[in-house]
Amino acid sequence: MRTSPVWNPQQYGKYAGERGRPFADLIARIGDLPAPDQVGTRTQATGTDQVATRDEAVVLDLGCGPGNLTVGLLDRWPSATVHGVDSSAEMIAEADKLREDPAVAARLTFEVGDLLDWSAPAESADVIVTNATLQWIPEQLDLLPGFVRALKPGGWLAIQIPGNGDAPSHAILRELAARPPYAEYAADKSLRPDVPGPADYVDALSGLGCSVDAWETTYNHLLPGDNAVLEWVKGTGARPVLQSLPDDLREEFEAEYGARLAEAYPRRDYGTLLPFRRIFAVARKES
């Protein structure tokens, strides 16, 4: 398994409403699930054929984080079982708290797993969702064939990734991390792989026998609080850099980074405006 930052569910949970909006927009584009599996049986006493129907759908959330969005999939598909996977043990520990209700626990499970190593049986899932996760994996397009293979005919793959690598929040982070005295520890931690655009997803997933709907959206989030963009990125993009630094340098870096972010994203009476580009792809596996 790859080395990854120790994620903080509480820090990540700040601005949960804004972080959850792209997930809701992604899920809304998923259509009807595949028809229920039908299993033929033959009654020996009468010699008649009977058909039993299994109507329990299987939904997978790959990169589920603390599970606060995953649990909503139970309402989206009331007859489904939902399984979340994340590489962070801290995130999965937080997600497991959602299973305290026995009725929820019967339908919702979580596991620690790296998507580079994870695999599902062929044609086992009705829906695979991966939200804001593949941005961290340079080889993400190489994972798509395995995801599609795991879908039942007629099943859905839904992907959302941030596409804001050129935003001031990230450009300032890279600039500071490449400067002494931080570069010794953090220069490589600020680098992020290039992410595919909508057309890349259309090309890759169409070649795997899927019909594809891909698009991009820039959200203009209004964030409350002091130096809100710093608080946002401390839970996500800046976390690998901050964790790589010794304690004394981390405090110095955060102060300088925070000051630069406050200039780039000034607080107004109505809040702090954070434009945030995101890329979406929803693919249906042909029957």
Go through the domains of the chain in sequence order and give each one's CATH number. 9-28+54-285 (3.40.50.150)
Which pairs with CB-CB distance under 8 Å and at least 24 residues apart come from 242-246? 243/5, 243/6, 243/189, 244/185, 244/186, 244/189, 245/182, 245/185, 245/186, 246/185
Q: What is the pLDDT of residues 58-109, one digit of tens each?
A: 999 999 999 999 999 999 999 999 999 999 999 999 999 999 999 999 999 9
Q: How many percent of the chain have pLDDT more than 70?
A: 89
Lowest mean pLDDT among 43-52, 61-70, 267-276: 43-52
Q: What is the pLDDT of residues 107-163, one digit of tens each?
A: 999 999 999 988 889 999 999 999 999 998 989 999 999 999 999 999 999 999 999
pTM over 0.85: yes
Provide mean pLDDT across the span 176-180: 95
